[in-house]
Amino acid sequence: MKILLVFDFDNTIIDDNSDTWIVQCAPEKKLPIELQDSYEKGFWTEFMGRVFKYLGDKGVREDEMKRAMISMPFTPGMVELLNFIRKNKDKFDCIIISDSNSVFIDWVLEASNVHDVFDKVFTNPAAFDSDGHLTVENYHAHSCTRCPPNLCKNVVLVEFVGKQLQRGVNYTRIVYIGDGGNDVCPVTFLKKNDVAMPRKGYTLQKTLSKMSQNLEPMESSVVSWSSGVEIISHLQFLIKE
C-alpha cells in the first residue's frame, strides 16, 4: 500500500516559472508589447505557442533554450526531497501534473538526474517542428468550469487513480504538493486521509486559507511548506503512521 505524491512543476519543483524564464532567450530578454498584450485569460498555452514561434523566428535554437531551462534553480530543499523519495520508492508513487510542457520538464528532470523519481508526467505535449520552432498543444479537453481549457488537474488525477485501481494499485492517501491557482481544483477534491501541501506565500496557500476563513469545507488536512525539507519531515511522519 503506497502513498501517491502529486507534484506541480513551476514554482514547486523549480523555483520559477519555466514559461516566463524562457523569455531570457529573446532579443534584449523581453517580448514585444504586442505579443505580451496578445494573452487572453485562460488561453496561456496558445499564448506560449506564439512566444515559441517568436523565439524561433528570431533564431533562438533548441540548444539555447535548453541551456536556459536547465539553469533554473530548484526550490529550496527540493533536491533533498526528491532524493528522499528515491530512497523510499517502495512507499511512494510519484507523478507531476503541470501546465508547463513536456520538453521543458524532460530537460530539467534529465539534467538533474531525477527522472527516475517520477512514475508519470502529465503536461502539455511539446515538440520541435522541422523549422526548429518549439510547438505546444493542449494536454486535453475537459468540462471543468474552474480550470483553463487546456488542463484540469483534478480530471487528470482522478483518471490516474482510477486506472491504477484497475491495475490493482490502491493508494492509502494522496499528498498534493503545489503552489498555484490551477492546483486549487484538485486539492478541493482530496479526501479525509489526504494531505494538501501548498507552498507558503503562494496562490494555492492564500486561496485555501481564505476558504477556511469562509468555512468552506475541505476534507483533507493542509500542511504548508517553504522548503522541501519540511515536506520530508511530514512524509516521514506519514510513513511511520
The answer to whether 99 is annotated as binding is yes
Q: What is the DSSP letter of 148?
A: -
The answer to whether 131 is annotated as binding is no
The answer to whether 37 is annotated as binding is no
The answer to whether 119 is annotated as binding is no
Which of 8, 93, 183, 194 is catalytic? The answer is 8
The answer to whether 129 is annotated as binding is no
How many Å apart are CA 90 and CA 123, to the nearest integer? 25
Q: Is 8 a catalytic residue?
A: yes
Count the alpha carbons within 13 Å of 32 in the hemisphere toward its beta carbon: 10
How many Å apart are CA 45 and CA 99, to the nearest integer? 8
How many Å apart are CA 38 and CA 29, to the nearest integer? 18
Catalytic residues: 8, 10
Binding residue numbers: 8, 10, 19, 99, 179
Binding residue numbers for substrate: 19, 99
Binding residue numbers for Mg(2+): 8, 10, 179
